[in-house]
């Protein structure tokens, strides 16, 4: 299975914020660090804030941060949100779907894939915070 660029960017935002858990960060600095379009990243950040993964603080000294401890932000929940995971292939439009054995296999595969991510949180991604901070600053 291949994750979308949107999910990739969402994960990068959470890693960045997780590495700087006690700080407010700007979309501009995250975009610059990862060489991502700031406009595209703004859409991802807005979606993450609306979904409750991050918190946005408005104002002159505002920014974004994780919406709670990194241990509570589940990667499986993020994947379900950003990927809208239902099926790997849209079998409903296929003429043989009613008699085909593939749809339940694809459903099982999707569930197994996400089950791995359910075991992890943002905290697992940022265990080496000191190293991450150095690498993020070097970018």
Tokens of 33: 């660090």
- Per-residue pLDDT tens over the stretch 57-115: 988 889 999 999 999 999 999 999 998 876 666 777 888 988 999 888 888 888 898 99
Full DSSP string of 56-110 = EE-STT-EEEESS-GGG-BHHHHHHHHH--S-SS-GGGSTTGGG-SHHHHHHHHH
Q: How do residues 5-48 score in pLDDT, each as one tens digit?
A: 999 999 999 999 999 988 999 999 999 999 999 999 999 999 99
Q: Extract the tokens encoding 58.
A: 């408005």
Q: What is the CATH number of the domain that holds 30?
A: 1.10.10.10
Please give the residue that has the higher pLDDT: either 3 or 127: 127
Dihedral of alpha carbons 40, 51, 64, 59, sign = positive
Q: Which residues form the domain of 124?
A: 5-138
């Amino acid at each position: 299975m291949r994750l979308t660029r949107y999910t990739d960017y969402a994960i990068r935002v959470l890693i960045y914020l997780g590495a700087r858990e006690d700080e407010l960060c700007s979309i501009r600095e995250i975009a610059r660090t990862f060489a991502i379009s700031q406009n595209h990243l703004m859409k991802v950040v807005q979606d993450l804030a609306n979904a409750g993964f991050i918190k946005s603080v408005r104002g002159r000294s505002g920014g974004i941060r994780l919406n709670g401890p990194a241990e509570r932000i589940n990667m499986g929940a993020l994947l379900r949100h950003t990927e809208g995971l239902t099926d790997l292939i849209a079998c409903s439009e296929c003429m043989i779907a009613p008699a085909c054995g593939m749809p339940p296999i694809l459903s099982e595969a999707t569930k197994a894939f996400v089950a791995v991510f359910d075991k992890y949180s943002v905290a697992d991604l940022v265990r080496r915070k000191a190293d991450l901070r150095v690498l993020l600053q070097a970018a």
